[in-house]
């Protein structure tokens, strides 16, 4: 068995044990000197140096075992080769000003980001990418298996990223097709669009149909109230967005988003409105029966964790140490 430590830096705490022992030894020697007259008059009740030292062995042994447990000892076993499978998933997030509307708390954009985070936590082996769009598109995260990096880029995505106003869904879909997806792979691809809609100028349905011909599926999530117009708060300013002195109102453009979602084979449109959606569960239901791409084989080291054994033994030793200390008469304490 090859014993290794996954967090070996904690072993440095072992250097504290000799220091603690030195401090304890000095303390005991001073205590013994002060009670020397008692030892001379009552020798038969005084414990020997050897017996006194034995009382502290469980304490140091227990602390040492706990330090080893913190370092996560493992027994390395035979490496295992696994095949990594998954799909390529691009989250296409609307960051236009209308996504600041507060018909969903705290606003549409933040609710969309929370839904994406919930979905990421459910994925296993899928490569993910992030494209923010308004009047133009910005590739915030290329396809990656590094979910931590993806989450960081998502957290840093705000409505201030837009270069110009508007909601350009069609051109953003074309950008994903050419700049994000692998053109040689014709399947295993999904685009999840989260938006309040409103694009009529970039021919989004035509762009969606072209993606469908390439085997790419669209999942469209519609956020916002479609019946009652909502004002758009201005970040770090007082008031709302206006045009010619009147407040700009935004509504969910559900009809256009539905056409985009249904333009690809297997595509769907979910109208969340001002409600909630478990995007992770939705996506998992959709991909359970879908084919997955093999990303190759990976050899992983299979470890057997041993920290529980060391921790348990350490606790037993510390318990014995406490019992010995409690059983030692006060007039015999520290007579080493």
Q: Where are the domains of the chain?
A: 2-77+302-332, 83-297
Exposure string over 17-37, b if 16+ CB within 10 A, otherwise e: eeeeeeeeeeebeeebeebee
- The pLDDT of residue 37 is above 60: no
Q: pLDDT value at position 289?
A: 57
User: Can you tell me the distance from the alpha carbon of 200 to that of 203, in angstroms, rounded to the nearest whole number?
Assistant: 6
pLDDT tens-digit series, residues 204-224: 999 999 999 988 999 999 999
User: Can you tell me the distance from the alpha carbon of 308 to that of 73, in angstroms, rounded to the nearest whole number?
Assistant: 9
- The pLDDT of residue 294 is above 80: no
Q: pLDDT value at position 266?
A: 87
Q: How far is CA 59 from CA 20, 21, 53, 298, in A?
A: 11, 10, 11, 44
Q: What percent of the chain has pLDDT over 90?
A: 39
For domain 83-297, give the fold.
Rossmann fold (3.40.50)
Q: pLDDT value at position 301?
A: 62
Q: How much is the average pLDDT of 152-181?
A: 84
User: Can you tell me the distance from the alpha carbon of 134 to that of 160, in angstroms, rounded to the nearest whole number?
Assistant: 10
DSSP state letter for 216:
E
Q: pLDDT value at position 122?
A: 86
- The pLDDT of residue 336 is above 50: no
Tokens representing residue 8 in the block: 């070996």
- The pLDDT of residue 39 is above 90: no
Residue 166 in contact with residue 204, Cβ under 8 Å?
no
Q: Which residue has the higher pLDDT, 292 or 204?
A: 204
Residue 62 in contact with residue 318, Cβ under 8 Å?
yes
Q: Which long-range contacts (CB under 8 A, 24 or more apart) does 22-30 make?
A: 24/56, 27/334, 28/52, 28/334, 28/336, 29/336
- The pLDDT of residue 200 is above 60: yes
**Across 5-9, 150-154, 183-187, which has the greatest mean pLDDT?**
150-154
Tokens representing residue 9 in the block: 């830096």
Instruction: Report strand pairing: 88-94 vs 127-133.
Output: parallel
The residue to which tokens 């590739």 are assigned: 139
User: Can you tell me the distance from the alpha carbon of 22 to that of 38, in angstroms, rounded to the nearest whole number?
Assistant: 25
Q: What is the pTM of this model?
A: 0.64
CB contact set of 168 (below 8 Å; sequence gap of 6+): 133, 134, 135, 136, 137, 199, 201, 202
Q: How much is the average pLDDT of 253-269?
A: 92
User: Can you tell me the distance from the alpha carbon of 336 to that of 333, in angstroms, rounded to the nearest whole number?
Assistant: 9
pLDDT tens-digit series, residues 5-16: 878 888 888 888
Q: pLDDT value at position 334?
A: 46
User: Can you tell me the distance from the alpha carbon of 108 to that of 133, in angstroms, rounded to the nearest whole number?
Assistant: 14
> Residue 80's CB: how many other CB atoms inside 10 A?
10
- The pLDDT of residue 133 is above 80: yes
């Amino acid at each position: 068995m090859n014993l290794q430590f996954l967090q070996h830096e904690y072993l440095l705490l072992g250097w504290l044990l000799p220091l603690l022992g030195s401090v304890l030894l000095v303390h005991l020697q001073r205590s013994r000197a002060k009670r020397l007259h008692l030892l001379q008059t009552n020798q038969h009740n005084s414990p020997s140096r050897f017996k006194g030292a034995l009382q502290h062995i469980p304490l140091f042994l227990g602390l040492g075992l706990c330090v080893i447990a913190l370092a996560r000892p493992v027994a390395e076993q035979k490496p295992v080769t696994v095949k990594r499978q998954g799909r390529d998933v691009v989250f296409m997030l609307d960051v236009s000003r209308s996504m600041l509307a507060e018909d969903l708390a705290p606003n549409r954009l933040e609710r969309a980001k929370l839904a994406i985070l919930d979905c990421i936590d459910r994925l296993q082996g899928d490569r993910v990418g992030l494209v923010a769009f308004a009047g133009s598109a910005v590739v915030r995260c290329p396809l990656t298996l590094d979910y931590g990096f993806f989450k960081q880029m998502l957290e840093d995505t705000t409505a201030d990223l837009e270069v110009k106003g508007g909601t350009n869904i069609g051109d953003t879909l074309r950008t994903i097709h050419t700049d994000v997806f692998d053109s040689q792979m014709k399947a295993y691809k999904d685009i999840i669009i989260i938006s309040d809609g409103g694009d009529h100028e970039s021919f989004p349905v035509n762009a969606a149909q072209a993606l469908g011909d390439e085997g790419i599926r669209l999942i469209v999530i519609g956020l916002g109230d479609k019946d009652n117009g909502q004002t758009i708060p201005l970040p770090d300013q007082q008031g709302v967005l206006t045009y010619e002195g009147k407040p700009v109102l935004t509504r969910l453009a559900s009809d256009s988003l539905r056409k985009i979602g249904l333009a690809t084979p297997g595509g769907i449109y979910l109208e969340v409105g001002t409600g909630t959606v478990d995007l992770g569960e939705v996506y998992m239901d959709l991909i359970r029966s879908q084919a997955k791409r093999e990303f190759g084989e990976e050899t992983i080291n299979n470890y057997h964790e041993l920290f529980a054994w060391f921790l348990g033994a350490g606790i037993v030793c510390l318990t014995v140490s406490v019992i010995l200390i409690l059983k030692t008469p006060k007039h015999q304490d520290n007579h080493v």
